[in-house]
Amino acid sequence: MIRPILRYGERDLHRASSEVAVFDEQLQGLVDDMVETMYAAPGIGLAATQVGVPLRVFVIDLSVGRDPEGLITMVNPVWIEREGVQLEEEGCLSAPGFSATVVRPSRAVVRGLDRAGRERTIEGTNLLARAFQHEMDHLEGTVFIDRLRGIKRDLIVRRIQKLKRGGRW
């Protein structure tokens, strides 16, 4: 089932998530829904907080469904390593139509559990490292706009507020 994606400014999107304690049918349904929602958007990553579920779960697929082996599901992820710096344009399914250059690590290692509860550690570089940081931020209640400073952030926030006032957000 495709779930609605929360947008920047909605309270639940900006709250930190809780650890998953039970690997049951409800979690499996959530992961299935998240994957379907991510592909339908279309996007390369989605955190549970973006669909209004405050759990530490994210899915990433850089191939956007073209490579069956490309889907990564992480439950209760934690950072193992982050290094280097990359500056690339980035957008978000929770801020459609907006993008900005964000500082991200060029290499990142994340450890967590897959949807069956098996431990896995994944190293990502370049786009995957950026996607890891982006989704991990969501699990802490942070959207890429929150990482911006100065006029760029102010312009985006003001445009979103204007869209809200006009009923288009």
| Alpha-carbon torsion angle 52, 90, 64, 16, nearest 10 | -20
pLDDT given for residue 55 in this prediction? 98
Within 10 angstroms of residue 115's Cβ, the number of other Cβ atoms is 18
- pLDDT-derived band of residue 51, with 50, 70 and 90 as boundaries? very high
Is residue 1 assigned to a domain?
Answer: no
> What digits encode the pLDDT tens for the residues 153-162?
999 999 999 9
What's 102's domain CATH number?
Answer: 3.90.45.10
Q: What is the mean pLDDT of the chain?
A: 97
Q: Average of pLDDT values for 102-113?
A: 98
Whole-number percent of the chain with pLDDT over 90: 99
Domain assignment present for residue 64? The answer is yes
* pTM score of the predicted model: 0.96
Q: With 90 as the cut, is the pLDDT of residue 165 above it?
A: yes
Binned at pLDDT 50, 70 and 90, residue 10 comes out as very high
In a domain, 124, yes or no: yes
Residue recorded with tokens 């250059």: 101
Name the maximum alpha-carbon separation found in the chain.
47
Please list the active-site residues. Answer: 135
Asked if the model's pLDDT at residue 68 lies above 90, the reply is no
Residue 15 belongs to a domain: yes
Q: What is the mean pLDDT of residues 13-37?
A: 98
Range of the domain at 86: 11-165
Q: What is the pLDDT of residues 115-147, one digit of tens each?
A: 999 999 999 999 999 999 999 999 999 999 999
In a domain, 5, yes or no: no
Do the domain assignments include residue 72?
A: yes
Assigned domain for 4 exists:
no
Count of domains observed in the chain: 1
